Amino acid sequence: MIKVVKFGGSSVANAGQFRKVKNIVDSDISRKFIVTSACGKSDNEDHKVTDLLYLCHAHIKYGVPFNNLFAVIEKKYMTIKQELNLKIDLDGEFEKIKKSMTKNINIDYLVSRGEYLAGLCLAEYLGADFVDAKDVILFDYDGKVNFERSKTALQERLKTDKKIVIPGFYGALPNGKIKIMSRGGSDITGAIIASLIDATIYENWTDVSGILVADPRIVENPKRIKYITYDELRELSFMGANVLHDETIFPVKEKKIPINIKNTNEPENHGTMIVDDCSERDEQKTPGFITGIAGKKDFTVFNCTKLNLSNEVGFLKRTLQLFEDFNINIKGIQAGIDTVNIILETQEIEEDRYIILSKLKEIIGFEHVSAFDNLSLIAVVGRGMSKRPGMSGKLFAELGLNNINIKTINQAIDEINVIIGVDNKDFEKAINCIYDRFITRGENK
């Protein structure tokens, strides 16, 4: 059994957290590959190292002195070094970084130093080998990871039986230049490593004990999801549930490597297991209807009408092309006999709203176009909804009983997700009603 374990920023925020990480790693011999984020926040007043590094870059760019800012980063790592009695030459590392901090610094290099330094400290503290991500996470020039080259490179570096620490969030382009991933990307590094070494499991250690059925800022004390499929998690993430980086699933899904979300501050908690297929695990073989509920506010619907629209070939294509021309991501489409509704994130169309509305009429040829704001979308996700009659009926009835008007409805053929649109003002109430009926009152069967 080989486990890849990834620790998020809060798990390596200070020396106390490093000690917890060591206990976790040492308690299981199969925890062989350790991926780390940069040091995160110790408390609300504190700052993430990655944020500070971005800020340093902005200072360099505008010619503002950055020394005081960089000193905050230095102090953070120095304190960890001192409290853990490490020998690492941090002064030398800081000198190297500071020398590179000139007008034409590569931002990716600078920002990746948070993970790099955390990785060096953690490797020494754990008595593990340090493998720099630039040597094993190899991108092609199009920004995609080249799994073949990365696998060979990683194998070449596995010389001892020791545990291996790899910094997350970055890798290298074919010319050796450092390239970072999008924010939160250490999750992806963990998944890539898990895939490269065919791990038995990918443990993702963070500061919560798994994924919750609903957002705790909306529902009081929601339950934890014990098992969830990759597909269900994708649906929830798309609608704003963000425990893991959205793209984490891709490298492990193909090989069906489970992801276990665990809490560094409560290691005995089982956390959430993300798997390809839950059928073996579903306690009574029939899962509950709902696995999770997520949602987002502030969508706008462009309602476009034209008589006999559904009989015109290519009309929809031309309509969608217009949004592509403006580089706008469409979040949903509903087409009727004489109508097309395009659902968009309000902030994305803020700038071009009027020009697009006028082009929809003048160029595409709609007779009427209008925009409706303040729409919230709520995704009710569950593998248990598939092929089980009555679920949508109960869901809609519950909202009706609570006087919540449903404005849009969407369900795909795999039936694991119903997306309903409600007015922004009903958003929190709708999520609470659904949670209450199906989870609290136990009508989830």
Q: Output b/e per residue, 381-393; b: 16+ Cβ within 10 A.
A: bbbbbeeeeebbe
The nearer residue to ligand ASP, 9 or 288, going by C-beta atoms, is 9
Least distance (Å) between residue 81 CB and ligand ASP: 19
The nearer residue to ligand ASP, 193 or 340, going by C-beta atoms, is 193
Ranges of H-type helices in 84-144: 90-100, 107-126, 133-136
Least distance (Å) between residue 284 CB and ligand ASP: 37
Least distance (Å) between residue 108 CB and ligand ASP: 12
Q: Using only C-alpha atoms, what is the Rg of the chain?
A: 25
The nearer residue to ligand ASP, 48 or 383, going by C-beta atoms, is 48
Least distance (Å) between residue 210 CB and ligand ASP: 18
Least distance (Å) between residue 8 CB and ligand ASP: 6
The nearer residue to ligand ASP, 38 or 60, going by C-beta atoms, is 38
How far is Cα 32 from Cα 232, in angstroms, rounded to an integer? Answer: 29
The tokens 């580089």 sit on which residue? 327
The nearer residue to ligand ASP, 186 or 195, going by C-beta atoms, is 186
The nearer residue to ligand ASP, 204 or 209, going by C-beta atoms, is 204
Beta-bridge partners for 295 = 378
Residue 370 · residue 342 · CB < 8 Å = no
Least distance (Å) between residue 193 CB and ligand ASP: 13
Binding site for ligand ASP (CB under 6 A): 9, 37-38, 48, 50, 114, 168-169, 183-187
**DSSP 8-state symbol, 425:** G
